[in-house]
Structure 1
């Protein structure tokens, strides 16, 4: 079972990966608040997606976030490390993403 620290580390690793690939990917026109809720650990993280980067990651939930990702800790880590396909995870209901449909299309470019 994943820990809160492992989930936090995986989010920061994703932020670093997005920053490293930002130039190759081009700027993404998306500036939204993000909440990542880890269901089995009863914890959450929040941050902001801006220009294809994940910034301002902090502990705690943001109930007003425009994009919310809900997953168990192990599934979150597998998703962020590239071991779990987002499309299959959503179809299997391992991961729930609550967002505007247009934002979802833009998010696919990040993943």
Structure 2
């Protein structure tokens, strides 16, 4: 199990990676949507906004957030760090149920290039 600080740093790295992307990935990340990343083993949710190809305005809330974000991720702290560090494939983690992604159909279509 990782710490909240390690997870926050991983989300910052993910934002940097998305922000520096080109082509289809950059287009997919150009959404303006509320975003949450629930870390199950820490009973913590990071809430922010995907805007201008970056994850912005990230705050931490204990447990589940009161409001439902437009794009919602759920996973363990270890899986978050493994995904961001490139040690775990998102498709494999999602397919096996280790990562849960919830979003509207059109957002899922646009996000597929990020996955």
Shift of the 104–96 alpha-carbon distance from structure 1 to 2, 3 Å rule, reads: same
Query: What is the match of residue 49 of structure 2?
Result: 48
Shift of 1:77: 1.0
Shift of 1:9: 0.5
Partner-residue secondary structure (3-state), 2:86 = coil
Shift of 1:52: 2.5
The range that moved more, 2-11 or 100-109, is 100-109
Matched, 1:92 2:96: yes
Unaligned runs of 5+ in 1: none
Shift of 1:110: 2.7
Q: Distance in 1 between matches of 2:103 and 2:84?
A: 18
1:8-19 alignment runs, 5 A limit? 8-19=8-19
Runs of 4+ more than 4 Å apart: none
Give the TM-score, by structure 1 length: 0.87
Shift of 1:27: 3.8
Query: What is the match of residue 81 of structure 1?
Result: 85
Q: Distance in 1 between matches of 2:16 and 2:66?
A: 22
Unaligned runs of 5+ in 2: none
State the superposition RMSD in angstroms.
1.6
1:18-57 alignment runs, 5 A limit? 18-21=18-21, 24-25=22-23, 26-28=26-28, 29-57=30-58
